[in-house]
Every structure is written in structure tokens, then in C-alpha cells.
Amino acid sequence: MAAGEYNDAGEYIAHHLVNLTYGRLQEGAERCYGGGVVETTHWTFAGCAAEAEAMGFMAFHVDSLVWAVGLGLITMGLLFTAARKASPVAPGRFQCFIEMIVDFVGNTTKEVFHGRVQPIAPIALTIFTWVFMMNLMKLVPVDLIPYPLELMGVEYQKMAPTTDPNVTLGMAFFVLLMVIYYSIKVKGWGFLKELSFTPFNTWVLIPVNLLLEIIGLLSKPISLGLRLFGNMFAGEVIFLLIAALFGAGLFFLPLAAGLQVLWAIFHILVIVLQAFIFMVLTIVYLSMAHEDH
């Protein structure tokens, strides 16, 4: 499909919701636009949504990963710059700004977790700053960077990594791994006992307890990841709808512009709030892992 040619708004939006996918295309899979079938299994960029789907699990969303890692590097770079310049003398503006965020995260952690903040607070800081940066990409107009890239031959591009469930769930499940790690580290065998004997404290009901507790354990990261993804994805769709409205004719231009501004301003709140919620829930889960029942 040539750049910028869409039959209707639905197609436009659908196109913008496809990630740039690099993956293993299986032998026998249908090619796009009636291009026959794949003869040998090989790794390639997906030409369309159907191909990306055909790749299954063995594929990467290159745009999500590049933006996520890039933004993570920028975030860590900024934090590291501040950390290296950190000194007890009067700080500059940049230093103050970073320290304000760090202090805010530290205080939030202290409010929830009444122990040594050292491992939890930096984790929370990473989450808050990084998720915020990834969410922030949503405020960039939807076609500002993807369109030039499309002209250069990169068919798909989604800038905000948090609109990709792989990214949000990836982070959420890493949080689960940390929860399990700290549970075992703090409680040892007590963790297994906790899984086996709550909520019913008898030998007979161990399987039931295990089932309930494991579902409970898994539901945390799933809800954590899907909450962020849902909010960001829904916001993205609205942005795309407004962007589609821009193309609907001169008459709709002021309306679209007004909506764009309104939604963007509203989203400034949403992106900070979602980053904050992700952080606070992580702190809560990790502090629960540290506490005995």
C-alpha cells in the first residue's frame, strides 16, 4: 500500500494500529495482497497485519522495542546525569527537577512500604519515569514521525510502546517475577506455605488453596499490564479518530483541531496518572511480598 492512501477512516485507523513486526514467517503462510504462499520458513518484516498475525509468537514488534529501549535509555541517561552530578551543594534546575521526582517516588514508597526502601524505590522510579516517557509519545501527533517513515519505506510505526500489550504485560510480568523473588527471599518456605494454606488452613484443601493463590498471584500482573495497555490503547484510538477527522474535509478542520487540543490536554493527566498507578501498584505488590500475613 502506498503511503497515505486509505479507502476510509476504518482502514486508516486499522493501519495505524499495526506494529512494525519482524518475525519468522512459516512455510505455507499466505502472503499479503494475493502474493501467494511462503515457500520456505524465513525471518522477515511483516508486510501487512495478516502476515504479522501469521508469524505468531516468534516475532518482534521492532517499533515497540526500539521506542521502549530508546526512551528507557534517554530516561536512564537523564537520571544518571543527575546522579553523577549529585552533590550536597545547591543544585541546579535540572538537578532539582530530577531530585523532585526521585523524592516524590521515595516518599510514595515510604507511605506504602514500611521497610528499607532501597530495592523497591528505585524499581518504582524506573517504572514511573520510563512508563511516563513511553506514554508521553502519545502526545506526539499520530502521523508526525510514522508518515515520513512510511515515505521512506517503513510501512508500520507505532510510537507509544505502552499501546502494545506485549510491552505493558512484559513489564507487569517482570514485576511478578520480582514479587516471587522477594517473596522467596523474605519468607523462604513460608511463601510456599502461604500459597498452600490460605485461604483454607487445612491439609485437605491444599490443591484448592494453590489454585486460588496462583490465580490471585497471576491476576495481579495481568490486571496491571492490561490496565495500562487499555488506557493507552483507547486514548490512541481516539487520537487516530481525531486524526482521521482532519482528513474528512475543510469543514471538520476546526472541530478536529479543537478536539485534538482537548484530548491532548486531558491526556497529559492520563499519562501521568497511569504511570503513577503502575508505579504505586508495583510498590504495593512488592511490599506485600515483603510482609508476612
Partner 1 sequence: MNFNLTFIGQMIAFAVFVWFCIKFVWPPLMNAIEERQKTITEGLAAADRAGRDLELAQEKATKTLREARKEAAGIIESANKRGAQIIDEAKESARAEAERIKVAAHAEIDQDVERAREKLRSQVAVLALAGAEKVLESSVDANTHKAMIDKLAANL
Residues near partner 1, by CB under 8 A? 17-19, 21, 23, 52-53, 55-61, 64-65, 68-69, 72, 75-76, 79-80, 82-84, 86-89, 91, 98-99, 102-103, 106, 118-119, 121-123, 125-126, 130, 161, 164-167, 169-171, 173-174, 177-178
Instruction: Give 169 or 244: the residue with its C-beta nearer to partner 1.
Output: 169
- Rounded to the nearest whole angstrom, what is the least distance from the CB of residue 93 to partner 1 in the complex? 15
Instruction: Give 112 or 259: the residue with its C-beta nearer to partner 1.
Output: 112
E-assigned strand segments in the chain? 21-25, 42-45, 59-61
Instruction: Give 61 or 267: the residue with its C-beta nearer to partner 1.
Output: 61
- Rounded to the nearest whole angstrom, what is the least distance from the CB of residue 9 to partner 1 in the complex? 19
Note if the bond before 199 is cis, omega within 30 degrees. yes
Non-local CB neighbours of 59 within 8 Å, separated by 6+ positions: 21, 22, 23, 24, 46, 52
231 is catalytic: yes
Non-local CB neighbours of 115 within 8 Å, separated by 6+ positions: 287, 290
223 is catalytic: yes
Sign of the dihedral defined by the CA atoms of residues 66, 67, 73, 77, in that order: positive
- Rounded to the nearest whole angstrom, what is the least distance from the CB of residue 160 to partner 1 in the complex? 13
What DSSP string describes 117-140?
A: -TTHHHHHHHHHHHHHHHHHGGGS
Q: Which amino acid is at 156?
A: Y
Catalytically annotated residue among 183, 209, 231, 287 = 231
64 is catalytic: no
Instruction: Give 66 or 212: the residue with its C-beta nearer to partner 1.
Output: 66
Sign of the dihedral defined by the CA atoms of residues 170, 16, 56, 152, in that order: negative
- Cite the active site residues: 223, 227, 231
